[in-house]
Chain A
Amino acid sequence: MASSKGKHFQIALDAIERIEAQRSADDLNTAVKHSIATFGYQNHCFVLPRSLAMPALRERKLLMSWPQAWFRQYDRWAKDDAVATAFRSRRSSFRWSDLDIRATASLRVMEMASDDFDMKKGFGIPIFGLDALEAGVSFSGPDLDETDEANFAVELIGIYAFNHYTKLRTAERKPSLTPRQREMMKWVAAGKTAWDISVIMSVSQDTVNKTLAAAMRNLEVVTRAQAIAEALRRREIEF
């Protein structure tokens, strides 16, 4: 008879196989939802980290199965959310129940609201890319299998679902920088500061910052280092 560990591993492998067979983000959304249902999870949310260039959740969401009504409420509180904060500070995956929820008023409201939407419990997986936190993956539901073995299976599913999402995205992607953004990114890659670039290109420093922020949104990254890496990966710029 298969051990419980073996059983959980097989569930994870089957889920990864199903996930990697999907050819569109919509189908991937459905496959993820089904895969995590085994452990009681009802919803998932894959998001880029919050940044100055991309503060709003609607811009940062990659894959999501949240109810619309909850999403609208959550967007307002996201910056105070202990789960969102944990992705920044944690080097490992975590149960939401292990987090220290500070008792501020907005968080209490959110707690009650999340209860209404069956999102009180969950599991978070920080996804670290080449040089920074690349995304946060959250799975949630009202009644979860929170054993270590279930959590490990869910961790693998989250990591491989994210990887498959990035593969789909790369395959679908068209050139994503404007000529001006591309020229600025080349200077950023050459180590120039915003001030340097403003002088080189005879524009204001404010214009440089705005153009680069737009380029970073198009590249779906949050730091300039990531922007250089992503622009190189997409062959938008070359060394």
Chain B
Amino acid sequence: MIRIIDKSNIHQFPKTMDQQFRLRHAVFVKEKGWKDFEKEGVYEKDQYDNDNATYVISIDSQGDAIGCFRLYPTMLPHMLSETFPNLVEGSVTRRPDVYEITRFHLSKAARQTTAWLELVAAIAEVGLDLGLSGVTGLTRTLRIPAMQAAGLSIRPTGLPVFMDGESNVSVIIDITEQSLSRINLNRGSTASVLERNLDRRDRA
């Protein structure tokens, strides 16, 4: 199940947010070795963890966070525009209907196809919910085929470069009903992945 947390309901979920920052520490600091954003030795946080962020969090049957991605408006200074504009050919996309996706991850134990497909489905479902036409981001280049196999339509926006010793590329993912249908076909379910009855302000 997927829980959406933003500034309108973040006060209701201190435990989920704490787990999310700890999980990011385990994945991005411990596993991937990103030391720059380590906080208090147990969290991973950066300047985009603020009121403008939307957290899309994978919750297991015990109610614990097991994965997440973060959406951030591209109209505001964001990671691609501030840190990696050189990875984008031409100008960085900045539109009200395009958000940036960062920190997509699952806990080591949750890394299997079902949980992954559910989080990928959330990209399309939450994107449609927010009225987005696309999301931009950085990915490992060799991750593209799996995302295509899941049903996402994804295009490079620059030539890949080596980061952390691997080929990484800036991309834009189209948000469409068709993508969501393809992903749902692969998941074997058309049911929404989103947790219902959340006290969340309508924003679209």
Chain A residues with Cβ below 8 Å from B189 are 239
A91 at the interface (CB under 8 A from B): yes
**B150 contacts A130, CB within 8 Å?**
yes
**A127 contacts B145, CB within 8 Å?**
yes
Contact pick for B145, options A148, A162, A232, A233, CB 8 Å: A162
A129 at the interface (CB under 8 A from B): yes
A6 at the interface (CB under 8 A from B): yes
**B167 contacts A232, CB within 8 Å?**
no
**B159 contacts A152, CB within 8 Å?**
yes
Known A129-B149, A130-B117; judge A9-B142 contact (CB<8 A).
no
Tell me what chain A mostly uses at the interface: helix, strand, loop, or mixed.
helix
- Closest B residue by C-beta to A129: B149
**B142 contacts A131, CB within 8 Å?**
no
- Closest B residue by C-beta to A91: B142
B contact residues, total (Cβ < 8 Å): 27
B89 at the interface (CB under 8 A from A): yes
Q: How large is the interface on A (under 10, 10 to 19, 20 to 34, 35 or more residues)?
A: 35 or more
A168 at the interface (CB under 8 A from B): no
Of A66-74, A112-120, A153-161, A173-181, the segment with at least 4 beta carbons within 8 Å of chain B is A153-161
Known A152-B159, A155-B141, A155-B160; judge A6-B149 contact (CB<8 A).
no
Chain B residues with Cβ below 8 Å from A5 are 89, 158-159
A183 at the interface (CB under 8 A from B): no
**B145 contacts A129, CB within 8 Å?**
yes
Contact pick for B185, options A91, A131, A155, A233, CB 8 Å: A233
Closest Cβ of chain B to A117, distance in Å, is: 28
Known A5-B89, A92-B167, A131-B113; judge A152-B160 contact (CB<8 A).
yes
- Closest A residue by C-beta to B143: A128
**A152 contacts B161, CB within 8 Å?**
yes
B144 at the interface (CB under 8 A from A): yes
**B142 contacts A239, CB within 8 Å?**
no
A38 at the interface (CB under 8 A from B): no
Chain A residues with Cβ below 8 Å from B162 are 148
Closest Cβ of chain A to B173, distance in Å, is: 14
A1-53 residues with Cβ-Cβ distance < 8 A to B are 5-6, 8-10, 12-13
Interface digits, A128-166 against B, CB 8 Å rule (1 contact, 0 not)? Answer: 111100100000000000001100110110010011001
A129 to B142, CA, bound (A): 10
A218 at the interface (CB under 8 A from B): no
Closest Cβ of chain A to B92, distance in Å, is: 14
- Closest A residue by C-beta to B145: A127
Chain B residues with Cβ below 8 Å from A148 are 162
**A239 contacts B149, CB within 8 Å?**
no
A93 at the interface (CB under 8 A from B): yes
A152 to B117, CA, bound (A): 27
List the interface of chain A (C-beta within 8 A of B).
5-6, 8-10, 12-13, 91-93, 125-131, 134, 148-149, 152-153, 155-156, 159, 162-163, 166, 225, 229, 232-233, 235, 238-239
Given A152-B141, A155-B167, A163-B144, output 16 extra A-B contacts at Cβ < 8 Å: A5-B89, A8-B159, A9-B156, A9-B159, A92-B167, A93-B142, A128-B142, A130-B116, A130-B146, A134-B145, A148-B162, A152-B167, A156-B159, A159-B145, A163-B145, A235-B185
Q: Could you show 15 A-B contacts with beta carbons less than 8 Å apart?
A: A9-B159, A92-B167, A93-B167, A126-B142, A127-B145, A130-B150, A134-B149, A148-B162, A152-B159, A152-B167, A155-B160, A156-B160, A159-B145, A229-B113, A238-B188
Give me the 10 closest cross-chain CB pairs, A-B, nearest first. Answer: A9-B159, A152-B160, A239-B188, A131-B113, A163-B148, A129-B149, A127-B145, A9-B89, A152-B159, A5-B159
